[in-house]
Structure 1
Amino acid sequence: MEISGAEIITRCLQEEGVEFIFGYPGGAVLSIYDAIFKQDYFKHVLVRHEQAAVHAADAYSRSSKKVGVALVTSGPGATNAITGIATAYMDSIPMVVFSGQVATDAIGLDAFQEVDMVGCSRPIVKHNFLVKDIRELAPTIKKAFHLATTGRPGPVVIDVPKDIAAQTSQFIYPASVSIRSYTPPTKGHPGQIKKAAQLLGEAKRPFIYVGGGAILSNASSEVTELVKMLNLPCTNTLMGLGALDGSDPHFLGMLGMHGTYEANMAMQYSDVIIAIGARFDDRVISSPEHFLSQAKKIVHIDIDPSSIAKRVRVDVPIVGDVKHVLIDLIGILKETGIKPQAEALADWWQQIEEWRKPQSLWYEPSDLVIKPQFVVQKLWEVTGGEAIITSDVGQHQMFAAQYYPFKRPRQWINSGGLGTMGFGLPAAMGAQLANPDAIVACITGEGSIQMNIQELSTCKQYHIPTKIINLNNRYLGMVRQWQHFFYGNRYSESYMDALPDFVKLAEAYGHVGMKIETPADVEPALREAFSDKLKDRLVFMDFITDREVNVFPMVQNGKGLSQMDLPPHMRDMQLTPFENNRDYGNLC
């Protein structure tokens, strides 16, 4: 029996266990939408913009360990999806995106709504396909899911011409797939893992540096075991938050541009660093020259060999799946009894506690104006630290990362590598659909939320009860902060001069709106929003916050980790230099 290409697509998605597909119909994909209408294996979520479809599929994947799937039409539908695809690519998120295409005999002839999606997406996908033979459709979809989920994960685009979706063929879905030129490693080299264990045994100031790769490989339990077994200090990147419980005493907080004082100082002055699924990128270590000015040995574990030693020299490279490598490393450490030098490790912890004392995330409380940090802290209290948090990009993103200690992996959903405004709300939709019984909150700002605010309509249609925490300072906050530091307080186009009434806007979409203007009302509003009375409603909370709060600590571009701009309360402190090194924090 032969079925259409459109039906082949739906059958393939059934075989892959897909639960949701996020999309928006158009002429080139109408036959696919007709096939979706006639099946009940999975649900389609109609978004209001194709960018939101891909963001929602992305967050569905991040929060569920599954593959997100999106469907867009040709031309503007495909180009609207590009930002979402790039967001997933930068953060290595497994996803399959189907784009419609004009008929095969019209490709290259500037047909209506034609765009070269393969060419457009090539730099921002793990792989892409243009299907020109219906007999290759099912095998291509099998390859796409395989590529998206193995090795270093990433998005895969399948461009489907309109006539291919309409033609008929037998449906044969491969049980497995083998791609000769694609054999990603799993196990790390045993010799290299032994070298890593030996370096830990020689370390006086060891440090564990964990990135998003640990979460993608589901290695949180192994990270935790390694840290606790050897009593090691640990930091997470923005993408790695949740790999170690944020309340664990071994956790020093996030590091990097807006990392804690203790995490940045420990990273700079450690003598052995175990880098786990991280990239030493510019937001983490800023200047490689400054970072390497202090002698240190680096073990770098990553499944992608191109990420190793890309920015800093590495002493022990280990290519392999993070989870498998850590299992082997822990096994060697247990078998041999290797541990860091006890006396030196005690001294190292003493130094770290000295760095912790100033409390670099402390801020001046206020009874008159709402501090954004205070809102995030109260959100943590009200939700018991259990919420899945999505965010947009800017100051509110950093405050969320700093002041909401994440207990577990896949609890923090944000755009790290690309820094995409407009990500938060559609991401909350995807996370909520993937975790229907979970509390999901989107921490956003008045600039970011307006980039995909039309998705409030999607939330209404599909009864998605996420809570929106809008930290409204009437500025593009991070832009204003940089203009304050580097552009002489010339706030060029960073002031939001015509904001809507967010309460009325939320109500117009059929949701609950709240405006909170005083610190005393913050906790009551949050408790009401998360109460049983409103648990099934989307609640938009517009918090009118302090206009000129800056995110501290801050490492300026080109500066070193120990050259932080510190918060006001630390600037008059006597900070003892480490080993007589006067390069110990920017007190200006």
Structure 2
Amino acid sequence: MQLTGSQIVIECLKEQGVDTVFGYPGGAILNIYDELYRHQDEIRHVLTSHEQGASHAADGYARSTGKVGVCMATSGPGATNLVTGIATAYMDSVPIVAITCNVGISLLGKDSFQEIDIAGVTTPITKYSFIVKDVKDLAPTLRRAFEIAKTGRPGPVLVDIVKNATSDVAEYEKEIPKLIPRMTEKIDETAIDEAIKILRKSEKPMVLVGGGAVIADADKELADFVKKVDAPVTDTLMGKGAFDGNDEYYVGMLGMHGTKTANLSVSECDALVVVGSRFSDRVAADTKSFAKNAKIIQIDIDEAEINKNVEVDLSIIGDIKSVLDIFNSRLEQLYHKEWLNKVLARKDALPLNYHHDVLTGPYVVEKLYEVTKGDAIIATEVGQHQMWAAQYYKYKKPHTLITSGGLGTMGYGLGAAIGAKAGNPDKTVVNIAGDGCFRMNMNEIATAVRENIPVIEIIFNNSVLGMVRQWQTLFYGERYSHTVLDNNVDYVKLAEAMGAKGYRITKQEEVEPVLKEAIASGKPVVIECIIQSDDKVFPMVAPGKGLDEVFDEKDLEK
């Protein structure tokens, strides 16, 4: 049948099972929005307050559902406002398709009003960037975009469409999307046999879980593997939920703000199985001394990650779920009682700790875990609050922590929470923010209210840029250059002005009742928690130091 380009865009979205898109209209993309109006009973459009909010919402939707997230923007500044969100998704391997429209082909390359080469701009931060100049290429390109976003290591794809291609007519025939097979053809079963030999000889094995295990939905296979190897488990920020945070084998997060138990044990272990982690600097710290006593076995879907940051002894390329399946079918039950007992005793002796006599971020996160029974989806911004959310909320399942790990994007969490709630309407969705991050994209509270998306925003208000101030305190001689935010903003009134419910908490006993009331309200809620300016995240590994040099507040006092 003959359809306009705009009709083809909508039909292709329907082919892919897209039920929600996030975006902001403008002149160049108006034809698509006009067509979207006619299909609003099939595809929900969430109008964000800013295009960056749309890209973060598509990201949060994708991370929490496992589907491809979709965002839209017009040409020029509309398109460039998506860039930070696209880069965030790229760094964390999140499948999104960003659809932008450009000026008509006769105006292309002439510095026309609101013209930008967005495909060129985003080439380094996408798996692929397309520009569609002919309506005949539109359907194949969109189908290819979704396929690329989902295949292998997922990631963002941009499709830029010149305006005349949205109004021109072409033949369209519906296609059923191809099933994306798990990447198994590269799995070297000889390498798996070699890895099993290493594990059989090992007396002190450990398992490090990264974001790849979450993406692969390999939680069941991972749990079976851990029990077979009989090894303690640590994870990265991005790996949260792939292994149950309540499991007795779990010893906490690894890295700059990882637990002492995890950091010291990885430094001591003699075999380390790394499941879907790229050894970022915040995880591995000093890469030369990382797991210096261990044979390192790296399992990853992306061959480019092998030996990129840390030299490993053995690598296995392929879908993590499939690789672990093979391990579990071949590996007999191993026993490491003495090592396991040592690590778990260390875990008991070196717990996470904070000041219990005042209102703190960790106290609020622990209460949030109790009230939600660990069943909420937690989004975060970036900074101290992000680390407290990672340390003190126990993630039981994949896709329940939505956070910017690779790019560290302040202003990410609120948009991402809106996307996660849109994709999971029956789940409690909470975004944990600092006052600095909240000010970045707080206008998306208006989006939550207008679109009736009941997210809960918790702001830890310490009147400073907390994580930067922590570094200034520890490493910059307490020179607090431009990190003080003491500007008397009333966040409760701000929330109410945008139509949300606002609360202010100053005492521990207020936390639980406010959280319960917020969850029961079914409305967008902002909860401001007043905490001290010099609260810090511990433990910590100083930049450039090894994991075995981890320290906490008591060590500083000594």
**TM-score, normalized by length of structure 1?**
0.92
C-alpha spacing 1:70/1:427, structure 2 compared with 1 (3 Å): same
Question: How far 1:338 sits from its partner (Å)?
Answer: 5.6
CA contact (8 A) 1:142 1:177 kept: no
3-state DSSP class of the match of 2:421?
helix
Mapped pair 1:214 → 2:213: yes
- Summarize the alignment of residues 377-456 of structure 1 with structure 2, pairs less than 5 Å apart: 377-456=366-445
Query: Which has the higher mean CA deviation after the structures are superposed, 381-390 or 84-93?
Result: 381-390
Contiguous gaps of at least 5 residues in structure 2: none
Instruction: Quote the Cα distance in structure 2 between the aligned partners of 1:412 and 1:121.
Output: 26
Q: 2:348 corresponds to which residue?
A: 357
CA contact (8 A) 2:103 2:163 kept: yes
C-alpha spacing 1:395/1:415, structure 2 compared with 1 (3 Å): same
- Summarize the alignment of residues 17-36 of structure 1 with structure 2, pairs less than 5 Å apart: 17-36=17-36
Instruction: Quote the Cα distance in structure 2 between the aligned partners of 1:479 and 1:360.
Output: 25
CA contact (8 A) 1:198 1:338 kept: no
Q: 2:536 corresponds to which residue?
A: 550
- Summarize the alignment of residues 312-351 of structure 1 with structure 2, pairs less than 5 Å apart: 312-333=310-331, 337=332, 339=334, 342=335, 345-351=336-342
Q: 1:118 corresponds to which residue?
A: 119
Question: How far 1:223 sits from its partner (Å)?
Answer: 0.7
Question: How far 1:587 sits from its partner (Å)?
Answer: 8.2
Q: 1:72 corresponds to which residue?
A: 73
- Summarize the alignment of residues 304-319 of structure 1 with structure 2, pairs less than 5 Å apart: 304-319=302-317
CA contact (8 A) 1:476 1:494 kept: yes
Q: 1:106 corresponds to which residue?
A: 107
Question: How far 1:291 sits from its partner (Å)?
Answer: 1.4
- Summarize the alignment of residues 501-516 of structure 1 with structure 2, pairs less than 5 Å apart: 501-516=490-505
Contiguous gaps of at least 5 residues in structure 1: 572-585
Q: 1:13 corresponds to which residue?
A: 13
CA contact (8 A) 1:151 1:185 kept: no
- Summarize the alignment of residues 21-170 of structure 1 with structure 2, pairs less than 5 Å apart: 21-39=21-39, 40-170=41-171
CA contact (8 A) 1:555 1:564 kept: yes
Instruction: Quote the Cα distance in structure 1 between the aligned partners of 2:394 and 2:384.
Output: 17
3-state DSSP class of the match of 2:378?
strand
CA contact (8 A) 2:23 2:54 kept: yes
3-state DSSP class of the match of 1:513?
strand
Superimposed CA distance per residue, residues 265-297 of structure 1 (whole angstroms, 9 cap, x where no aligned partner): 1111111111111011101011111215x3321
Instruction: Quote the Cα distance in structure 2 between the aligned partners of 1:364 and 1:50.
Output: 40
Amino acid at match of 1:487: Y
Amino acid at match of 1:90: M
Mapped pair 1:2 → 2:2: yes
Question: How far 1:520 sits from its partner (Å)?
Answer: 2.1
Question: How far 1:438 sits from its partner (Å)?
Answer: 0.6
Superimposed CA distance per residue, residues 494-525 of structure 1 (whole angstroms, 9 cap, x where no aligned partner): 11032421111111111111111112222222
When the two structures are aligned, how many residues end up with a matched partner? 557
CA contact (8 A) 1:185 1:303 kept: no
Question: How far 1:307 sits from its partner (Å)?
Answer: 0.5
Question: How far 1:186 sits from its partner (Å)?
Answer: 5.0
Superimposed CA distance per residue, residues 157-185 of structure 1 (whole angstroms, 9 cap, x where no aligned partner): 00000011110101134446699xx9965
Instruction: Quote the Cα distance in structure 1 between the aligned partners of 2:124 and 2:511.
Output: 44
Amino acid at match of 2:135: I
Q: 1:248 corresponds to which residue?
A: 247
Mapped pair 1:286 → 2:285: yes
Superimposed CA distance per residue, residues 314-366 of structure 1 (whole angstroms, 9 cap, x where no aligned partner): 21111100010000111111xxx262xx4xx2221232134213334112211
Q: 1:541 corresponds to which residue?
A: 527
Question: How far 1:108 sits from its partner (Å)?
Answer: 1.1
Amino acid at match of 1:351: K
Q: 1:561 corresponds to which residue?
A: 547
Q: Which runs of 4+ in 1 moved over 6 A?
A: none
C-alpha spacing 1:185/1:499, structure 2 compared with 1 (3 Å): farther
CA contact (8 A) 2:199 2:229 kept: no
Superimposed CA distance per residue, residues 464-517 of structure 1 (whole angstroms, 9 cap, x where no aligned partner): 111111111111100100000111001111110324211111111111111111
Q: Percent identity?
A: 45
Superimposed CA distance per residue, residues 550-579 of structure 1 (whole angstroms, 9 cap, x where no aligned partner): 1011011110000112232xx3xxxxxxxx
CA contact (8 A) 2:433 2:457 kept: yes
Superimposed CA distance per residue, residues 402-424 of structure 1 (whole angstroms, 9 cap, x where no aligned partner): 00011111111000000001111
Computed over aligned residues only, the root mean square deviation of the Cα atoms, in angstroms, reads 1.7
Question: How far 1:397 sits from its partner (Å)?
Answer: 0.2
Instruction: Quote the Cα distance in structure 1 between the aligned partners of 2:536 and 2:553.
Output: 9
Query: Which has the higher mean CA deviation after the structures are superposed, 35-44 or 60-69?
Result: 35-44
**TM-score, normalized by length of structure 2?**
0.97
